[in-house]
Copies of this chain bind each other. A is one copy, B any other.
Amino acid sequence: MSTSVSPLAPKSYPEMPALRGVRMATAAAGIKYKNRTDVLLMVFDQPAAVAGVFTRSKCPSAPVDFCRGNLPRGEARAVVVNSGNANAFTGAKGRAATQLTAQSAAAAVGCSEDQVYLASTGVIGEPLDATKFAGVLGDMHVQAQPGFWQEAAKAIMTTDTYPKVATRSTEIGGVPVTINGIAKGAGMIAPDMATMLSFVVTDADIDAAVLQALLSAGVEPTFNSMTVDSDTSTSDTLMLFATGATAADGQDRVTTADDPRLAGFRAALNDLLKDLALQVVRDGEGARKMVEITVTGAETDQAAKRIALSIANSPLVKTAVAGEDANWGRIVMAVGKAGEMADRDRLAIWFGDVRVAVDGERDPHYSEAAATAVMQQEDIPVRVDLGLGDGSATVWTCDLTKEYVAINGDYRS
């Protein structure tokens, strides 16, 4: 397991501004290991509007089921996130554990269970002893403080090599609004799988239904456009909370998704989601390079995305990137296998600004040296134009290295 920070980690971390309406605390509850911080509690003293997007896995974890059950109410007073145990594939015991965790949180915070949200990451298939939460949540509720963003991001790390935070400032109707977010993912606990968790909070006053529309649209070109190894976890969770504190500053509540006042907020939210999503990709196991794949000229945006993901998930493309090999032949292969309409004789491919293929064959001015120079960068842009239509999409991934194999295969459960 890698213990050094990813070479692709951000060079500096932002100062996280205060955000009214939320308090946080962390604790060591001994979920899996003693003396390891493994629980995060977020408290909204006034109910926050809430939206969520979860894994599409047909085998979702018990916490994912639990959150989906509460989302129709659209109100959050507490979020409990634990590492050490994903409470996934745990059957009836897993459901009981979520119920008990919610009861403990509701009792500690003074709310109802349908105002509680849960997320878990860690071991699969081991029952989660939810009685451990009861021992810490009461104190955590008392001690929870505003700020604490870096600590919260650290608390939810598993084998992430760095905590992931992001912040954006924007406005609604001229009233300043803040959005803060934390994420974890692409790190792995042996023998489990990458789980992507992200929690974003804003002080804006926005209805839950509007939040959901913003989040569902915002997740597509961000978290849903990145892949480390194509292995979608049972537990992926992205949640957005609005505390409404800016109502006190004169921000009138936003109640419809097409409110023109949302333009700045929407852009800032999407930019923050992209920031966090790229931080997750950059922490991919064994990653030393990040690849941005843009497909243009497809029949539809959806086709462009499928082709982009076919390239991003190709082991042969990813190992070539690891080897700094400007191997456009494998890009051709990945376009061809995607199953979407593609005219081989119209394909054009660029690494960075270096066009390596055009009209279905190698570029007549192809320069191996120029293409290789691009491959030696840490951030590698790849573009494919299909020449068929207007569909386009951008996805991000990382290279496939021996360290990925070592992290995921070199030890026993």
Contact = CB atoms under 8 A, between A and B. Distances in A.
A338 B58 contact: yes
A233 interface: yes
A225 to B, nearest CB: 16
B315 A372 contact: no
A186 B372 CA distance: 26
A193 B325 CA distance: 13
Interface in A156-199: 191-194
B333 A58 contact: no
B400 A402 contact: no
Nearest to A314: B231
Nearest to A124: B329
Contacts of A320: 191, 408-409
Interface in A83-101: 88-91, 93-94
A357 B89 contact: yes
B409 A124 contact: no
A264 B405 CA distance: 44
Contacts of A322: 405, 409
Interface in A48-76: 55-60
A125 interface: yes
Interface stretch (A6-14, A215-223, A342-350): A342-350
Nearest to A194: B316
B405 A337 contact: no
Contacts of A319: 404-405, 408-409
B409 A336 contact: no
B334 A56 contact: no
A325 B401 contact: no
A361 interface: yes
Nearest to A235: B333
A362 B127 CA distance: 9
Nearest to A232: B337
Contacts of A94: 361
Contacts of A325: 191, 409, 411-413
Contacts of A110: none
A323 B411 contact: yes
Given A357-B125, A409-B401, A232 B336 contact: yes
A193 B329 contact: yes
Contact of A193 (B316, B324, B360): B316
Given A332-B89, A361-B93, A408 B338 contact: no
Nearest to A126: B362
A330 interface: yes
A192 B329 contact: yes
Given A59-B342, A89-B344, A124-B329, A405 B401 contact: yes
B231 A334 contact: yes
Contacts of A93: 361
A203 interface: no
Contacts of A379: none
Interface string A294-336: 0000000000000000000111100111111111111011111
B193 A315 contact: no
Interface in A107-144: 123-126
A406 to B, nearest CB: 7
Contacts of A405: 319, 322, 400-402, 404-405
30 contacts: A57-B336, A58-B339, A58-B341, A59-B333, A59-B335, A59-B342, A59-B347, A60-B344, A89-B329, A89-B357, A91-B360, A125-B332, A125-B361, A126-B362, A192-B329, A192-B330, A193-B316, A194-B316, A229-B315, A231-B316, A233-B333, A234-B336, A315-B404, A323-B410, A323-B412, A325-B409, A325-B413, A327-B413, A401-B405, A401-B409
Given A231-B315, A234-B332, A319-B409, 9 more contacts: A58-B336, A58-B342, A88-B329, A124-B329, A191-B329, A233-B333, A322-B409, A323-B410, A400-B405
